[in-house]
Structure formats: structure tokens, C-alpha cells
Amino acid sequence: MVKTSFRTAALASVGLAILAGGAARAADTTLIIESWRSDDLPIWQDKIIPAFEKSHPGIKLKFQPTPPTEYNAALNSKLDAGTAGDIIACRPFDASLTLFQKGNLAAVNDIPGVDKFSAVAKSGWSTDDGKSTFCVPVASVIHGFIYNKDAFTKLGIKPPKTEEEFFAALEKIKRDGTYIPMAMGTKEQWEAATMGYQNIGPNYWKGEDGRLALIRGKQKLTDAEWVDPYKTLAKWAPYLGDGFKAQTYADSQNLFTLGRAAIYPAGSWEVSGFNAQANFKMGVFFPPVKKAGDECYISDHVDIALGMNAKSKNADAAKKFLAWVASPEFASIYSNELPGFFSLQSTAVDLKDPLANEFLFGRQQCKSTIRSTYQILSRGTPNLENETWGASVNVINGTETPDAAAKRLQTGLASWYKPAQ
Amino acid sequence: MTPDPSPARARRWHILVFLAPAVLIYSALMIIPLIDTLRLSFFTPQDGGQTFAGFQNFITLFTDPRWSVSFWNALKNNLIFFLIHMAIQNPVGIALAAILSVPKLAGRAFYRTAFFLPTMLSFVIVGFVWKLILSPIWGVAPTLMGFVGLKSLFGPWLGQESTALLTVSLISVWQFVGIPMMLIYAALIAIPDEVVEAAEMDGLTGFRQFWKIKLPLILPTLGIVSILTFVGNFNAFDLIYTMQGALAGPNFSTDLLGTYLYRTFFGFQLQLGNPTMGATIATMMFLIILCGVMAYLFFIQRRMRRYQF
């Protein structure tokens, strides 16, 4: 009798436990997040997920990253097999656009908060006509120049505002001889284009105005707006230090953080690495303008967004999560944990990192644009982005004149892109 | 003296069984992909699928300036890459083998290993080490050249259009000189002592003996070495990719057919991959190598006399 009641009690408790578990499972929805940012795993686990789960009881998050090089392939096969997570980290432009066109990503136009993002912020994850947006913009990287504050103080140089001041500063550093004026190499090619051409270019083509005019075929790469940045770039060569033609990206980073170079043409993704390595004060200045008082433009390039698997079974929870991603709360956590990756929201975020803050200051001073070659213009062969790498290197190395380079790029683009013809 | 009775034949199934794994794996991993690549080069992507396009891809590759300029450039670079190997790697390989085969040489095993060692290193390591050695900022090359007063001759060789291809070729020669050296060394020590002694009796020694006796005897091996070099060079990809990146800079001056194929087939940066044009380039590489090997077999191998002792 005692035994029986014991067994009954045991059974009952097991049953209760199952019921309780079942009830808990019914109430909790778990959203799986696919991402290529495996570096961010601790930040998601320690900061972002707890913050979200606290304010949204009943929804659990699971961050499930894949290494960057495998992400596109892994994601595509998971989506095809129907095993992909609910939330999907979106790369900008064509990679995600293809997913949206194939019906793998849902439109996010109706998610609260999405309408508050600027058109530039949404450009990486919208259809060409801008009507449908399919991912909530998360972060961008900003271009500019990081400089060694100690070196500038020692040589009595102020961060340059105009091109004249910029080259005067370079000349002064060169004549002093203590520092290499600017740390950049042309060996790996992409630096010359990304940190060179796309960094200084927006001031010439007036940011979005020029970029969109190029896409619509109203401007050509042979127009002064697009050739002049190459001419300026060509003038960098004497200030890049010995053997810059064989200098790699890592070389440039090391030269600067070891204090051997005074200026580093940069993207804001360097912030956390440089903070850890450099033991001198650093500051940021933005691409110099022609005349003092000219409107300035910065490359504020969209980099990562979060979207929703169109076939997700937890669509409601996913929408709630995306609405939170579009909120200032998420922006504040994300930008502070990953200095150098800036929230794309219009609401200003308070950043604790001083160097990242200086980059962010660019958005208040200058108008934002994205890299000119990324949207639409690099879909064909020859590929405008890759060609721009080559052209930037050639003009700096002096093996091609800016005019010849521009003519070659325009011919290449016009060969497959109708509006450019 | 009668031949084996025929029932033995019936039991030869074991040959098939033992061959099967190799044949199956080789077919699955090499032959079928090769045939599929050849097939793919006749198609063009359309609406998510592929449609038959005949020779259109080849016509595009040869006549459309968007493709042909890169193709001829890669082919030209590949040819230069091959010629540098033929002109330097193989003579140096012969010289090293000849020196190693001198019976009185001390420390032979050490030299043999030292020269052969780079061959076994991975491309990534070779590329990385040489990039460091030649780095104008941290490299030891400028310092070492400074010791002998030649520092003014140092330049950023990997970053200049005029020198990049030569530099990369020489690094590849450095890496692979061990293979011709070993093959020729094996051929040299296989020459029977009687022949060498006979030559000595006739008063042929040293350098003259090498030219008149040994070199003709190892000619078949030189042929093999040349064709191996040819096939290896026209398939080359790894070293360029690790040292100069997929864009084979500066300004495509180190672009080989292999890197061109990679960029086309898999895409690069914002460039999306184009499998059918990639297959077309791969087919051209296959044909070039096939023609080279056939020409070798037809014109050289057939006429080669082998000495029997």
C-alpha cells in the first residue's frame, strides 16, 4: 500500500513535470539567429540576448553563427532545405537581394521602426526601386583618417580640413622625417580603393547625388566628379613610405600602431584593434574638402542587417524581435559593445569609446553615403568594384593616368550596364 | 613448355576487385567532374537553369574584349611562368643533381634534404615566408643586401608590374627545384659504372664526361621533368593566390589561367561566380595541357632512344 502510493506519487510528479515542461515550451518561442559574425557570440550571449529576453518574456533567442567564409553557402543550403533559423543576418546588396527575390526573406516594411531609417541606411537591403526593404539595418562602418595625436602635437599640426591643409600636413611630416606621413600600401589592392578612392571620393561626387546619378546613367565615370579623386589619390604616392607597392594591409596596420606612421586612411572597423595595440592617443579627421566651408560627405557604408526567414514558423515572435532590433535600446547595446560598427538609426547613440565617438561625429558634420560601386554597378563583367581596386592602385603606382583609368572603367561598365551607355 | 591452362583466367576476378576502389574513387572525383566541366562549357545560365549554347562561350572568351584581354594576358603570363621554370629550374636541377652525384662529395645527404625540403612545404607557408623576406618594411632581404652594399638595388618586387611575375616565378622555382634534382639524380646514379669507366678509359673525365656521356643518358628523364613542369605550371594557382591574392596584382601582372579560372568560376568580392564561363576557361586549360602533352609524346617521347645495358 505504501509502495503503491509512493509509485503513484512518483508517476504524478513525473507527469506534472512533463506537463509543466510542455506548458513552458508552449509559452516560450525560441528564435534561432543565423549570422556570419562568430566573433560576436559572447556579446550576444552576455548582453544582447539577456536584454531582449528580459523585456520580452516568452521569447528565447539562440545565436547560431557560421564562419564568415562558409556563411553564404551554408545559409543558402539551409534555406533550400528548410532548416534555416528564424532570424537571418543579411549581407548588404546582391547577396541578400537574391534571397529576397527567391522568397527566402520576408519584407520588413511593416515592422515598427523600420520607417525611421534613412534611405541610405536601407539601401543595402532594399529592392533597386527602394519600395521593399527586407532586412532591418543594424550597423555601418565609417571611413575617415585615424591620426597619431602625439605626432601631430609634436610637429604642431592640426587635423586638416581642406585638401591644401591635408597635403601641407603630409609635407611637414615628410620633411621632419620622424614618421612615415601615411600608412597605406597598394599590394593588396582593396585598401587603395576602399581606404583611398571610396574614402575621399564622396566629397567630389557629392555623396548620394553623384552615386545615384551614376546609377541612373546621368553621370559617367569619365566626368570630373569621378576622375578628380583619382588625381588626388595619385598625389598620395610620395607620402606613403618606402616600398609601399609591396606593403600589405597588415603592414600598414602595424606601421601605424607601432607609431611609425602619422596618418592611417581607415575604416571604423579598426577601432577596437587599434585601441588594443596603439599606446598613443588617436584621433579621427574626415576626408578634406576643396575649400574651407564646403559641404562634406563621408562614406558611411552599410555592413550588416537582420532579416526574417520567410518560412519561419515563429513569424510573430520574429517580428517582435526585429522591432526591438529597430529600437534605440538595441542600437545602444550593439554600438557600445562593438565600437566601430555604428547603428544605422537616426536616433543618436551615446558611445563610451572616444575613438568610435569621433568617427560617429562625422555623421553630424557631413552627409552620409555608401561606397559607389556596391549597389547595382558591380553585378556584371567586368566587375566595377574589382576594376576600381585596380584603377586606384594603378594611379597611385603611376602606371596609369587618372583619365585613362576612368576611361577604362567607363568602357567596362557601359559594356554591360544599359544606363551607363 | 605449354602455357598455363586457361582455367586460371576464370579466377582473375580479384584484379577487378582490387582495381575497383581506385577506379571508382578516381572516376567519381576526377573523371566525372572533368567530363561535367567539359559539358558545362557548352551551356549558359538562363532563368535559374542552363540552356545549351554551343560554342558561344568559347567565342565570347576569344572575341569579347571583356573576356579575351584577361584570357590572353593570363595565357601570356602562364607561358612566361613556364619558360622561366624551363630556363632556370631544370638547368639548376641538373647542376645540383650532377654535383650531388660526385662520389667524393661530403654531406651529400644533408644537401639533398635541404634542396628537397621546400617542395614539401605548403604553398601557404612558402608564400607567407617569402612575402616576409621580401617585405620592404620588415623583410630581411633589404638588410642582407645592405651587408654587401647592394641595398640600392632592392625594390618592392612583389608590388611592381615589371617584376612581380618574375619574382613569383623564381619563388616557385626555389620551391620546386628539388623535384627535377631528385629525378635526375636518380637517373645519374643509375648509369652503370661500366659506362663511366669506359669513358674514363677513353680519357673523358669531369665536365666533358658529363656533357658527352651522362647528359645523353639522362635525356629521357629530362623529357619527363619538362612535361611535369609543363603540366604543373599550366595548373598553377596556389602560390599566386597566397602571394598576390585572387586579383593577381599589381594590375593582373601575375594573373595565370588558374587565378583567372578561380575568379570567374567562384566569383570574387562583389563579383558573382559564373560557372559556365569558368568551365570554358577550365576546358581551355585542359586543352592546352592536353595539346602540350600530346605534342611531347608525339615529337619527343617517340623518338627518344632508351639505352639498355
Give yes or no: residues A161 and A254 share one domain.
Answer: yes
By the 8 A CB rule, do A206 and A223 touch? no
Between the CA of residue A290 and those of A164, A166, A209, A362, what are the distances in Å?
A: 8, 10, 17, 17
Top-confidence residue, A146 or B215: A146
Residue A3 lies in a domain: no
Question: Residue A66, SS3?
Answer: coil
The C-alpha cell at A102 is 527567391
B160 contacts A245? CB cut-off 8 A: yes
Same domain? A73 vs A162? no
Backbone phi, psi, residue A181, to 5° = -60, -45
Residue A230: domain span: 142-300+370-420
Domain boundary (A314, A329, A355) is at A355
Tell whether A262 and A394 lie within a shared domain. yes
Residue-wise pLDDT for A352-387, tens only, equals: 999 999 999 998 899 999 999 999 998 888 889 999
Give residue A274's identity as a one-letter amino acid code.
F
Residue A7 resides in a domain = no
Subunit contact B158:A412, Cβ cutoff 8 A: no
Handedness of CA B189, B190, B196, B197 (dihedral sign): positive
What is the count of structural domains for chain A?
2
Cβ–Cβ gap B251/A412 under 8 Å: no
Decide if A94 and B272 are in contact by the 8 Å CB cutoff.
yes
CATH number at residue A225: 3.40.190.10
Q: Is residue A15 part of a domain?
A: no
Smallest CA–CA distance from B241 into chain A, residue = A188
Is A255 in the same domain as A242? yes
Residues A33 and A165 in one domain: no
Q: Which of B156, B245, B252 sits opposite A245 (nearest CB)?
A: B156
Greatest alpha-carbon span in chain B: 80
Residue in A94, A189, A251 closest to B249 by CB? A189
Yes or no: say if B185 and B109 are a contact pair by the CB < 8 Å rule: no
CB–CB contact B250 A251 (8 Å): no
In which element (H, E) is residue A138 found? Answer: strand A135-148
Provide the grid cell at A328. 534605440
Lowest mean pLDDT among A22-26, A232-236, A406-410: A22-26
**B254 CB within 8 Å of a chain A CB:** no
Q: Smallest CA–CA separation between A245 and chain B, in Å?
A: 4
- Taking an 8 Å cut-off on Cβ atoms, the answer to whether B270 and A386 are in contact is yes
Q: How far is CA A17 from CA A11, A60, B11, in A?
A: 10, 20, 67
Are residues A41 and A159 part of one domain? no
Which pLDDT score is estimated for B206?
83
Q: How many CB atoms lie within 10 A of CB B91?
A: 12
Q: What is the pLDDT of residue A74?
A: 82
Residue A199's alpha-carbon distances to A143, A291, A314, B39, B252, in angstroms, are 6, 18, 41, 44, 24
Residue A386 has its nearest CB partner, among B66, B157, B269, at B269
Q: How far lies B278's CA from each of B35, B44, B260, in Å?
A: 14, 11, 8
> B35 to each of B19, B31, B40, B46, how far by Cα in Å?
21, 6, 9, 21
User: Are both A85 and A124 inside the same structural domain?
Assistant: yes
Q: Which CATH class is domain B56-307?
A: mainly alpha
Residues A61 and A196 reside in one and the same domain: no
Please, are residues A380 and A181 in contact by the beta-carbon 8 Å criterion? no
Count of CB contacts below 8 A, A vs B? 99
The three-state secondary structure class of A168 is helix
Residues of chain B with pLDDT under 70: 1-10, 48, 305-309
Q: Write the pLDDT tens digit of every residue in A159-182.
A: 999 999 999 999 999 999 999 999
Q: Strands B43-46, B49-52: parallel, antiparallel or unpaired by DSSP?
A: antiparallel
DSSP string covering A109-125: TTSTTGGGS-HHHHHTT
A237 and A293 together in one domain? yes
Distances, alpha carbon B218 to alpha carbons A12, B195, B199, B222, B230, in Å:
89, 13, 16, 6, 19
Q: Which residues of B touch A385 (CB under 8 A)?
A: 269-271
Nearest to B136 among A93, A246, A385 (CB): A246
CA distances, A10 to each of A1, A13, A337, B221 (Å): 14, 5, 48, 83
Nearest 10 degrees: CA dihedral of B128, B131, B134, B139? Answer: -60
Same domain as A377, residue A346: no
Q: Supply the pLDDT for residue A102.
A: 86
Mean pLDDT across A315-322 = 94
Residue A122 maps to a domain: yes
Both A240 and A108 in one domain: the answer is: no
Nearest-CA residue of chain A relative to B130?
A246
Q: What is the structure's pLDDT at B271?
A: 78
Asked whether residue A361 is domain-assigned, the answer is no
- Retrieve residue A135's grid coordinates: 532586412
Q: Which long-range contacts (CB under 8 A, 24 or more apart) does B41-44 make?
A: B41/B276, B41/B279, B41/B280, B41/B282, B41/B283, B43/B276, B44/B276
Percent of chain A with pLDDT strictly greater than 70: 93
Chain A residues close to B152, C-beta within 8 Å:
none
As a whole number of angstroms, the distance between CA A241 and CA A261 comes to 9
B136 vs A: CB within 8 A: yes
Give pLDDT, residue A12.
Answer: 53
CB contact under 8 A, A386 and B247: yes
Residue window 12-51, chain B: list those with CB within 8 Å of chain A: none
Percentage of chain A lying above the pLDDT 90 cut: 73
The whole-number pLDDT of residue B105 equals 84
Using a CB-CB distance cutoff of 8 angstroms, which residues of chain A are in contact with residue B157? 246
| The pLDDT value given to residue B6 | 54
B48 → chain A, closest CA residue: A102
Residue A22: per-residue pLDDT: 47
Is A381 in contact with B66 (Cβ distance < 8 A)? yes
- How far does the CA of residue B115 sit from the closest CA of chain A (Å)? 28
Lowest pLDDT segment from A187-196, A248-257, B264-273: B264-273
**pLDDT above 70: residue A13:** no
**Element spanning A88, H or E:** strand A87-90
Over residues A186-204, mean pLDDT? 95
A76 and A206: one domain? no
Task: Using CB atoms, pick whichever of B158, B251, B269 lies closest to residue A246.
Answer: B158
| Residue-level pLDDT at A331 | 92
ipTM of the predicted structure? 0.83
In this structure, is residue A87 part of a structural domain? yes
**Cα separations in angstroms, B181 against A329, A398, B30, B153, B193:** 67, 41, 29, 30, 20
Which CA distances in Å does B61 have to B46, B72, B253, B287?
Answer: 18, 9, 19, 14
Which H, E and C letters describe A295-322, residue by residue?
CCEEEEEEEEEEEEECCCCCHHHHHHHH
B27 vs chain A: nearest CA distance in angstroms? Answer: 26
- Which residues lie across from A353 on neighbouring strands? none
